[in-house]
Amino acid sequence: MAFLSKLFSNARKPEGFLGRMMVNGMNGGSHARMAEWGLSFVSVGEKDNVLDVGCGGGANLARLMKLAPKGRVQGIDYSPVSVSKSRKVNANAIADGRCMVQEGSADALPYADSEFDLVTAFETVYFWPDIEECFRGVHRTLKDGGSFVIVNEDDGLTDNNEKWEKMIDGMHTYTPEELRTHLSAAGFRDIGVHLDDRHHWLCVAAVK
């Protein structure tokens, strides 16, 4: 139990050996199925410019590049372990100039205004500081009509949220209504909520 607690504590910011184990796990299993489920609610143009905030192990960058084969996909994460793994997984695309991965934080996105057609956040908003301010940053980087898609493994509607929040320092499992409220306050519109009742997955999509 102590080992699992230490492992899952790395979900916030993967570090060291356990962090490498965590990012490897992010790229497969239920995380992969959940990501594919979430992306089923996204319309991605083949030439779209896409940003994945909290890119983790980099598997979702590869998925997004398949959906935007003539576009460019960028990833950002504040964990050096995650950045290293993402760069390794997508090394060929990075060499071809189709992908870029850098270290940075959701509360200080180093991108131009109106740069992206789509911004995604898989399993990461739980840890964002001042979430409305982070959402305003995402809003700033999106083009008019661009989309922001959040995919979470926990919908915040069961007792599981308390278990995870006790195990992982600094984690908050948002309910659909909490995310809707914060997104609206940050300027987003057309906010749609999708739930998977079997797994309690949550996908929230919003438009600038």
Instruction: Provide DSSP, 50-91.
Output: EEEES-TTSHHHHHHHHHSTTSEEEEEES-HHHHHHHHHHTH
The answer on pLDDT for 13 being more than 70 is no
The answer on pLDDT for 199 being more than 80 is yes
Read off the pLDDT of residues 103-162 as tens digits, 9 standing for 90 and up: 999 999 999 999 999 999 999 999 999 999 999 999 999 999 999 999 999 888 877 766
| Structural domains of the chain ordered from first start | 2-207 (3.40.50.150)
The answer on pLDDT for 167 being more than 80 is no
The answer on pLDDT for 99 being more than 80 is yes
pTM of the entire structure? 0.87
The answer on pLDDT for 166 being more than 80 is no
Q: Check residue 8 and give its pLDDT.
A: 45
Cβ burial 147-173 (10 Å sphere, 16+ → b, else e): bbbbbbbbbbeeeebeebbebbeebeb
